[in-house]
Structure 1
Amino acid sequence: MNILDLPPELITVCFSYLKGTDLARVAQSCTLFNEISSIEKLWQDRCRKEYGLPTDTKLNVSFKKWYEKVLHENGSIVGLWRINTTCYGGLIHIWYTEEGDILAEEFYSQKDVHEKLLQKELFCVALDEEKNVQKQWLANCLVPQPCEIHVYKDTRVKDKFSVEQKERKKSAREKEQEKLMFLEDCELRGTHRELCMYKWQSYKQNQFKQSFERIDPSRFEPVAKVPIQPGLFKGMYGGHGTEIVHLYYTSDGSSGQAQKISGDPNVPSGEISIRFDIDKHMVLNKDQQEFKLLSVIEADDEETNIPYKPEKMDRQPFVIPSDIMIDNRNAVCPKYCIARFHGKGTVSPMGYRNPTLINIHFIVFSENQFGVLWMDLHSFSMFSRVEENFPALR
C-alpha cells in the first residue's frame, strides 16, 4: 500500500510526528504533501513541542512562517542563562512576549534581599512590518542597536551562545548618559561607588559582545531528605552588593553547593561560593554560639555533631555572635533555625588569584531562607529564595 492511498487525515497524523525541518522537506515531494504540510495546526504543534512557544501566542503571521523565520534559527536560546563574558555574570531569562517575540531580560537583586528582583531588557528577536527578522540590543543604550546572535552548532558547546553588536562611535552626551544609567543600576544592587566604577571599566571593554551559558534545568529538580530544596537565592557579598547563587545538590544528595550566577572580581560568576555536607550537621544551644566557642567546634565533634534526620529534627536556637558583622544591615535574622552544617566558603583577592576555602556554617532557617557564617571573615550573610516565576523552567 502506498502512503498516497491513505486518507489525508491519516497522513496528517503521520506528519504530526515529524520535526519542522522534516515537515518542510516532505512538502517539496508532491502537491498533496505540500498541502497537508501547510496545515497551521501542524506548525503550531511544532512551535510548541520544539521551542516551547505557548499555544495562545498572538502571532501576526502564520505559525509556519514564525517557525521558519524566527524559531528555527533562534528558538534554541529560550531558557535560563548566565552571562559569562566577565566576572560579574548575571541571571538571564529568555522567553516569549504575548506576540511571540523572543525577549531576553536580566534579573538582579536589590539591596534588600527580601525584595523582588529588578529586571531590564537585554535584547529581542522579532519581525518588522515587512516580515523581516530584526535582532536588537536594548540594554544600556539610548537607542536600540542591531545585533547578531551566534548559536553554537557544535554539540560540545550546545548550551552556549553569544550576542554581538557592531562597534560604533558614540557622542560624548550618549556616552555620559549610558554611564549614568549603568552606575544607577549598580547602586540599586547595593554596590559601593568605587566598585561601581571598577565594574563600569570592565563593561566598557566588553560591551559589544556578550556570551551566555545555559543554567542546567535538571539542577532545579526536587531532592528528597535535604534541609532546603534547590533553587536560586540572592544574598549580599559585602561591598560588591547583592548577588544571585544557584543552590543544588550532588546526585546522591549527600552535599550541597551554591554556584555564583552573578559574581565579582574576588569570586567570579560560575565559581562555587558555598559548599556543605549533609553528614556534618550540628546542633548548638545559645551558650555554644559565642564566637570563641564556635571557632573551635570541629566537624567531628561528638557533642555537637548530630546526624541529620529531617523527619526527627527540632528547631534550634540561633544567635549571631556579638563580634560578627552582618553583610546586609536590613537583614532580619531569625532566632531559630531548622538545620546547621559545617561547610567551606570560597574567598580570594581581587582577580580570583589564589582562591582559598575557609570554614563556614551553613544555616537553614526555612525553605526560603538560609544564612552563611563566614568564620574567618567574622561576617554573616542572609540569602533569600528567588520567588519569581520563570516560564522557561516549567
Structure 2
Amino acid sequence: RTKRQGPAETAAAQGKPAPAEKHLEANAPARCWAGSGGISSPRPPPHCSLLDLPVEMLVEICSSLPGTDLPSLAQVCTKFHHILHIDSIWRRRCREEYGLRENLHDRIGMSYGKLYTKMFPYRNILGLWQLGSSYKDLLNVVMDGSGITGWWYESHLNNHVDDQMQWEPQFRIRLRKRKSATLEYKNGPSTFFDLGSIQIQKDSLSILCNERCHQKYLGRPRRGRRRFVLSQEDRLRCFYCQTYRRIYLPPSHPDDLIRPGLFQGKCDAHYVTISVLSFHGKYARVTKITGKFIQTLEIHLLRRIRLREGEIFRDFNELSRVVQEIHEQVIREQQQQEDGTEESEGRGWQSPGQPSVRESGAAASEEQLVPFVLPVGVRSRDHDYPRTCRMCFYGVVTVTLHGLPGRHPGVFILFDENHFGFICPYKNYFFLYSRVQNTFQNVEAPSPQAFLEMLSSCESKPP
C-alpha cells in the first residue's frame, strides 16, 4: 500500500510536508508566465492558439508571408480562409513582389487579390533586360498604370552623361478583369498591335510574332481591311524575334571604394552608353552593357598612383611614363606567376606602406581633394568634368572590335561618389562616367554567382 501511494500521500501519512521539488515544479509555469511579461496569475492560461490573436495581428502576419504560401494557408481553417480575402494583404504582396506603386486595381477594375493572380504568370518578366543583338539596348519591364509595360531605353536622346535616362514604351501586357491578358507591341507614336506570344525563361526573354502580326507588318492585303505600309526599319524591328537576357545590379559591400551600380559614359562615337561598376576583391570592373562593341575596364585597387597635389595631370609625358612603368611591372609579374617563381600579386610596385583594399575604401571619403586638370593633348567629349579628384589607380581597358580584343593601360580617376573617369594614354583620350539616377525594381541578383555569369554573358559575343 505504501508503494502505490504518491510522494504527497506518503508524506501526509507520515506527518511530513510534501517535497519541495514537487511544489516548485507545480509553480514553474506560473513563474515563467509572470516573468515573460504576462500578468501574474496563480496558474498559466490553459490554452493559447494562433487563432486567439486579434484579426489585425493575423492580417499583419499574413501580409509578411510570400504570396505563393498564402493559398496553402487559406486551406488550414475557415478563419484563415476569410482573413486571406482581406485586400490589404494582397496589396502589400503586389507592392513588395511586383513593385506596384499606384492604385492599378482602380484602373483595371479588380481587387489586389485578383490582380496578384493575373500577374503571377508574368512575375519573372519584371526587371532589366539587355537586347541580344549587335547593338545592345536596355529594356525595363515594370508594372504601371496600363498593366505591364516594357520601356525601351532611348540612348540617342541623351547628350550628356549627367542626363536622366529617356525611355519610351516598347510593348505592354494588358491585364483585364474577365478576359485573359493580351500582349501588344507598339508601332508608331501611339499605336499598339496584337503581337502574339512571349516566352519567359530563367534569364532570357523572347518576343515572337504570330501569323496575324506578320500579315499586318508585311503589308499583305486582307479582306475587309486596309493595307499597312511600314518603313523598312519598322519591318525589321517588328518582324524578327527579339531575344533579351536579364541584367542584375552588382551587390554592395561596406569595403567597396564607392557604391557600385550603373553609370553613363560616352564610349561610343555619338551616343551615351551604360556600364555597370562592380567590385571583386583586389579588382574593380566596369562592364559596358549597351553600345556597338564590347568594352571592359579592369581597375587594380592595389596599384594606386600618387597624385602629388595634381602635378601628374599637368605633364602628360610624366603620366604616360608612370602608367607604362606599372604596366611593364604587371606583365613581368604575370610571366613570373606563369613560370611559378612569383606567388604574390602586386609586389614590386606596391610599397609596404601602401594601403590595402579595405583601407582604401574606408579612406576614400576622407581623402583630401586634389585639383584635376585634363592634360594638354588629351581629347574628351565631356568638358564639364569635376575639377577635383580623390584617388587614382592603374587600370586596363579592353575593347573588342570584330572579335579582336585590344588592351590599353591607363589611369582610373575617382572624382566623388557619383563620378569617375579613365585616361587612356595610348589614344590620348579621357572618358567620364556619371552615376545613373534612375531607380529600378526586381534587379537584385539571387546570388553572387548569378551576377558573375551575367557579366560573362555581357562580355561574350551576342547570339
Scaled to the shorter chain, the TM-score interval is 0.7 to 0.9
2:120 counterpart of 1:72: yes
Aligned to 2:388: 336
Residue 164 in structure 1 maps to residue 216 in structure 2: no
Q: 1:232 deviation in Å?
A: 1.1
Answer yes or no: is the 8 Å Cα contact 2:264–2:436 preserved in 1.
Answer: yes
Q: Aligned partners of 2:389, 2:318: CA distance in 1, in Å? A: 19
Cα RMSD, aligned residues only = 3.7
For residue 212 of structure 1, report the CA deviation from its aligned partner.
2.6
Q: In 2, Cα distance between the equivalents of 1:231 and 1:376?
A: 27
- 8 Å CA contact 1:58–1:100 kept in 2: the answer is no
Q: What is the CA distance between 1:142 and its match in structure 2? A: 6.5
Give a deviation string over 1:248-296, Cα, whole Å, max 9, x none.
Answer: 111x3x32111112121x32xxxx5211011111123435643332222
Measured against aligned partners, the alpha-carbon deviations of 1:171-217 in whole angstroms (never above 9, x if no partner) come to 498433x74xx8xxxxxxxxxxxxxxxxxxxx937853222333224
TM-score by length of 1: 0.74
| 1:149 paired residue among 187, 198, 208 | 198
Cα–Cα, structure 1 residues 26 and 248, in superposed 2: closer, same or farther, change >3 Å? closer
- Please name the residue that 1:378 is paired with: 428
CA offset digits 1:45-102 (Å, max 9, x no partner): 4433443334754442022221222x111122222x23132132223322222x4712
| 1:175 corresponds to | 230
How many Å apart are 1:20 and its aligned residue? Answer: 4.1
Conserved 8 A contact 1:88-1:263? yes
Deviation (angstroms), 1:382? 1.3
Q: Which has the larger radius of gyration?
A: 2
- 2:315 alignment partner, one of 284, 287, 290: 290
Within 5 Å, give how 1:349-368 maps onto structure 2: 349=401, 351=402, 353-368=403-418
Identify the match of residue 135 of structure 2 among 88, 102, 109. Answer: 88
What SS does structure 2 have at the residue aligned with 1:355? Answer: strand
Q: How does 1:1-394 map to 2 (within 5 A)?
A: 9=55, 19-21=66-68, 23-24=70-71, 35-54=82-101, 56-59=103-106, 60-69=109-118, 71-79=119-127, 81-97=128-144, 99=145, 101-109=147-155, 110-128=158-176, 130-138=178-186, 143-147=191-195, 148-152=197-201, 158-166=202-210, 168=214, 169-171=217-219, 174-176=229-231, 179=233, 204=236, 208-217=240-249, 219-221=250-252, 223-224=254-255, 226=257, 228-250=258-280, 252=281, 254-264=282-292, 266-267=293-294, 273-284=296-307, 285-286=310-311, 289-297=314-322, 298-299=325-326, 307=355, 308=360, 309-310=363-364, 313-326=367-380, 328=381, 330-349=382-401, 351=402, 353-392=403-442
User: Match of 1:239, SS?
Assistant: coil
- Normalising by structure 2, what TM-score? 0.64
Residue 230 of structure 2: SS of its match in structure 1?
helix
CA distance, structure 2, for counterparts of residue 365 and residue 14 of structure 1? 46
Contact map agreement 2:132 2:243 (CA 8 A) in 1? yes
Q: Any idea what the Cα deviations from partners look like across 1:307-342, whole Å, max 9, x if unmatched? A: 44426532233332332221x1x5323333211111
Where does the alignment leave 5 or more consecutive residues of structure 1 unmatched? Answer: 153-157, 183-202
Aligned pairs, number: 349
Cα distance in 2 between the residues matched to 1:388 and 1:7: 42
Shift of 1:236: 0.8
> Offset of 1:343 from its aligned partner?
0.4
Q: Is the Cα–Cα contact under 8 Å of residues 277 and 342 in structure 1 kept in the other structure?
A: yes
Whether the 8 Å contact between 2:274 and 2:289 is mirrored in structure 1 is yes
Q: Report the secondary structure of 1:175's partner residue.
A: coil
Note the C-alpha offset of 1:366. 1.8
Contact 2:130 2:247 in 1 (8 A): no
Q: After alignment, is 31-40 or 374-383 more displaced? A: 31-40
The letter of the residue matching 1:204 is L
Higher helix share: 2
Cα 1:224/1:37, change in 2 over 3 Å = same
Distance, in Å, in 1 between the alignment partners of 2:60 and 2:386 is 58
User: Percent identity over the alignment?
Assistant: 24
Structure 1 311/348 Cα, relative in aligned 2: closer, same or farther at 3 Å?
closer
Residues 34/237 of structure 1: CA separation in 2 closer, same or farther (3 Å cut): same
Contact 1:91 1:107 in 2 (8 A): yes
Structure 1 residue 356, shift from structure 2 partner:
2.3
